Amino acid sequence: MTLHTTELKQGLAQLALDLTEPQLELLERYLALLVKWNQTYNLTAIRQEERMVSYHLLDSLSLVPHLAGGTRMLDVGSGGGMPGIPTAIARPDLQVALLDSNHKKTTFLRQVVLELGLPNVQVVTDRVEAYQPEQKFDRITSRAFSELSEFVKLTRHLVAEGGQYVAMKGVYPYEEIALLPQGVAVSEVLPVTVPGLDAERHLVRMVLQ
């Protein structure tokens, strides 16, 4: 067992996520691919594998307990696959679409899906405002994609009836919430503790009125 396997298991316990050994192995393999491809594709500014466990894997997985009731999730501006890939591994019953306009990043994401064999993940290379899926999404998330008002404006056409936004943010986004357009309601803002991460994290849940 590697050092970061131990850290990952401890972090999952703190997040109250009970994953199987095959799921843990998939997370490990995803991390290895992220490290390997990051050398040439610049997927993340974090280079140290041990820091990626908390900054990417556990941070992404902190979203999972807040997706109850969802069946289709869109990860907008997925980049290196966060939070979409870890979420898809933890929730194989959830259909996850990873959307990014950057061809290099979606090439990496397709390779991850292929190598890890993730049947519940779809990779889309497109601009969010131009994306027209056959079926809309009941959960839409992003991790540092844009400010909340811009995020909602660009994705309004992608939310299924009764769907929710679950945006991942750092410090409490008072100003961003104040600037939300009419017709968007914040149903809750939850502080999130990410194991091994000494930084503020919040989840902002929003609905269309």
Q: Is residue 129 a known part of a binding site?
A: yes
Between CA 2 and CA 24 the distance in angstroms is 12
Pair 202, 191: CB distance under 8 Å: yes
Q: Is residue 128 a known part of a binding site?
A: yes
Q: Is residue 143 a known part of a binding site?
A: yes
Q: Is residue 82 a known part of a binding site?
A: yes
Ramachandran angles phi, psi of 150, nearest 5°: -65, -40
Q: Is residue 1 a known part of a binding site?
A: no
Reading the block at residue 117, the tokens are 């064999």
Known binding-site residues equal 77, 82, 128-129, 143
Known binding-site residues for S-adenosyl-L-methionine equal 77, 82, 128-129, 143
